[in-house]
């Protein structure tokens, strides 16, 4: 009987001790949220330049300010050639596209808050511009020497097509004016030499 009581008391003491350990463990064990909070994290990462590299260590992307301090994100091909840049120019957004030789071939952005799309030929010669000017839509075409040769758009809300010679002189105008048809031909000095009659 005495031996039985000793075993019973020992079992009660051990049980109480284990219960105390379990309760203390539950009380002091960190919650998942607390455990995550202990990890080293940063809400903001600040640097002068970020670079994205490929498996071979070549730079294929770079985010950094340009020489004037304006933000610039550039993308590069596998050979390291610049193929695209998203940036600001005088505070206005601009997207630039480059060919395999690094020549700019297209630009899209705003000028004085008006949208503009520029197309370029060889040696970055301007070949076309589409956008708004003083709120009026306009498409301008250029020859291989970047001389303006044709403009189609609206003037005071009325459609007009203007043709230019190699010296940038306006030689023909077609469209409407005050709601009436307009057609003019001009000489090299831009003097009117023929005008269509409304009659």
Q: What is the pLDDT along the chain (199 residues), one digit of tens a residue?
A: 444 434 433 443 344 444 443 333 434 344 444 445 556 678 999 999 999 999 999 999 999 999 999 999 999 999 999 999 999 999 999 999 999 999 999 999 999 999 999 999 999 999 999 999 999 999 999 999 999 999 999 999 999 999 999 999 999 999 999 999 999 999 999 999 999 976 6
**DSSP character for 19?**
H
**pTM for the structure as a whole:** 0.75
Q: Where are the strands (E) in 9-120, listed by range?
A: 50-53, 59-65, 71-76, 82-89, 92-98, 104-111, 114-120
Between CA 115 and CA 95 the distance in angstroms is 12
User: How many Å separate Cα 156 from the centre of its chain?
Assistant: 32
Looking at CATH, the fold of the domain delimited by 49-195 is given as Outer Surface Protein A; domain 3 (3.90.930)
């Amino acid at each position: 009987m005495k031996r039985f009581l000793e075993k019973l008391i020992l079992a009660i003491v051990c049980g109480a001790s284990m219960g105390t350990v379990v309760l203390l463990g539950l009380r002091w064990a960190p919650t998942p949220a607390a455990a995550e909070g202990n990890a080293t994290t940063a809400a903001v990462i600040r640097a002068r330049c970020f670079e994205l590299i490929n498996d071979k260590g070549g730079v294929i992307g770079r985010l950094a300010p340009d020489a004037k301090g304006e933000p610039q994100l550039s993308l590069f091909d596998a050979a390291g050639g610049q193929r695209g840049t998203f940036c600001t120019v005088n505070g206005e957004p601009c997207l630039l596209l480059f060919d395999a030789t690094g020549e700019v071939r297209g630009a899209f952005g705003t000028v004085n808050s008006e949208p503009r799309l520029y197309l370029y030929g060889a040696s970055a010669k301007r070949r076309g511009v589409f956008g708004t000017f003083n709120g009026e839509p306009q498409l301008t075409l250029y020859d291989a020497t970047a001389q303006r040769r044709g403009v189609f758009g609206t003037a005071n809300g009325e459609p007009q097509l203007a043709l230019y010679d190699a010296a940038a002189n306006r030689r023909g105008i077609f469209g409407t004016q005050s709601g009436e048809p307009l057609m003019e031909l001009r000489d090299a000095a831009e003097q009117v030499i023929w005008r269509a009659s409304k009659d």
